[in-house]
Amino acid sequence: MSCIGRTVDTRNKELTVLVKAKELVDYTLNITDNTKYFPKKARFSFVNRMQNLSIDICTEILKTNEIPIKYRRENQINILSNIKVLLLLVELSLNKGYINEHQCEIWTRKCLDVKYLVAAWMNRTR
């Protein structure tokens, strides 16, 4: 089902972008909580930042959806910026050997799903 400015998941009436953002948070928490991938020395430099960014992305989507359409653009730009930073940290995690290429691909795909949905949402609310 489609509404002006948003696509809705008909199973539970949630915004598709919010559903994808929750999946991103879930994947981020699952992979970063696993000490097999991220050593203790990376907890503060990578893990905490990645977890906070993914949660911030999700909460900003919720907040942005609650404000009037004409005031959403700045929040949407902030969401896109947070996604770019998270993508950078995922890439750095791969380069440092904390995650493998398959995990990087999955994580990147989840980030890009949210990014493209936010960009489309932004274009529709102009």
pLDDT mean over 43-58: 95
In tens, the pLDDT along 55-64 reads 999 999 999 9
Helix 73-95 crosses helix 48-66 at what angle (to 10 degrees)? Answer: 160
What's the pTM value of the predicted model, to 2 decimals?
A: 0.87
Residue 84 pLDDT greater than 50, yes or no: yes
Residue 49 pLDDT greater than 90, yes or no: yes
What's the pLDDT at 126? 78
Residue 3 pLDDT greater than 60, yes or no: no
Q: Mean of the per-residue pLDDT values for the chain?
A: 90
Closest listed residue to residue 89, CA positions, set 28, 41, 39, 17: 28
- Angstrom distance (rounded) from CA 98 to CA 101: 10
pLDDT mean over 2-13: 46
Q: Is-contact 54 85, C-beta < 8 A?
A: no
